[in-house]
Amino acid sequence: MFFNLSASFIAIIVFAILFLANAIRILNEYERGVIFRLGRVIRAKGPGIILLIPAIDRLQKVSLRVIAQEVPTQDIITRDNVSVKVSAVIYFRVVDPVKAIVSVENYLYATSQLAQTTLRTVCGHEELDTLLSEKDKINAHIQESLDSHTDPWGIKVSLVELKQIDLPQEMQRAMAKQAEAERERRAKVIAAEGEFQAADRLSAAAVIIEKSPIALQLRYLQTLREIATERNSTTIFPIPIDLFRPFLKIAEMYDKVNQKE
């Protein structure tokens, strides 16, 4: 008799433990549980302790944290017929657990596939220069398109970032040549502007020297000093023409005397 009571008590305890194990669920702060009762959705519960009816209720967990998902590299032909490889990363989270479970079979897979097709569509309508220079605009366009399509699934796409744009080798060489030509053009423009400013300064200096001949002599002495500092074996001294004017006058007078005779 006592043995039968003990066995019954142990059986009740085991059954109670099994019942509680199947009836109690604990959800974290970032989790929600979608409860199905006999195949019908009741509601989403959590966080904390959730009580279920064993063999009748079924719980499916959903994480509400932001998910960072990489979009595989896509082969894209831009609007100006340039073949490029573009990869991206999207950030999204579940805002409605019931829709995320009921409206789509696998919201992670569905969001990934939608991101790939949207990336190809948006980038294919843009030119290469736009892809390289206006990434923020393209990111916002992709994000808005994805968010509008995933809203019925209870998914919020918060951010899209183009990760990498790979160009063909021929296009890379062409862009390098273009950049080099642009740098040479800027260098020539800067050199021309420098020459123009130098010519303007020299013109102003010539006016000053014309008004003050002593300035020319000072410049002449400064030039001699600069020449003397150089290690040259031969030095050429420029002589002002004023030093020869007395001799030229004597030669002219001598020619006049000879002509009179």
Judge whether residue 246 has pLDDT over 70. Answer: no
Least reliable range by pLDDT among 106-110, 189-193, 199-203, 245-249: 245-249
Distances (CA, A) of 76 to 73, 86, 116, 125: 9, 7, 11, 10
Closest CA to 153 of 88, 120, 106, 121: 106
Cα–Cα distance for residue pair 93/179, rounded to 1 Å? 42
Where residue 139 falls among pLDDT bands split at 50, 70, 90? very high
pLDDT at 33: 92
pLDDT top residue among 119 and 261:
119
Among the ranges 6-20, 184-198, 234-248, which has the highest mean pLDDT value? Answer: 184-198
pLDDT of the residue at 103: 92
Q: Please, which pLDDT band fits residue 184 given cuts at 50, 70 and 90? A: confident
Cis peptide bond prior to 152, omega within 30° of 0 = no
The Cβ of residue 60 has, within 10 Å, a number of other Cβ atoms equal to 15
**What does pLDDT average to over the chain?**
82
- Per-domain residue ranges of the chain: 2-63, 67-167, 177-234
pLDDT surpasses 60 at 1:
no
Report how far residue 15's alpha carbon sits from residue 61's, in angstroms, rounded to the nearest whole number: 25
User: What mean pLDDT comes out for the span 68-77?
Assistant: 91
Q: What tens digit of pLDDT does each residue of 49-59 get?
A: 888 888 888 89
What was the pLDDT predicted at 245? 64
Domain 67-167, architecture per CATH:
2-Layer Sandwich (3.30)
Q: In what order do the strands lie in the sheet with 155-166?
A: 67-77, 83-94, 155-166
Beta-strand ranges (E) seen in 128-192 are: 155-166
Which pLDDT value is given to residue 213? 65
Residue the block writes with tokens 């199947």: 22
Which residue type sits at 12?
I
Q: Which candidate, 44, 92, 40, places its Cα nearest to that of 70?
A: 92
| Gap between the Cα atoms of 253 and 258, Å rounded | 9
More confidently predicted of 105 and 202: 105
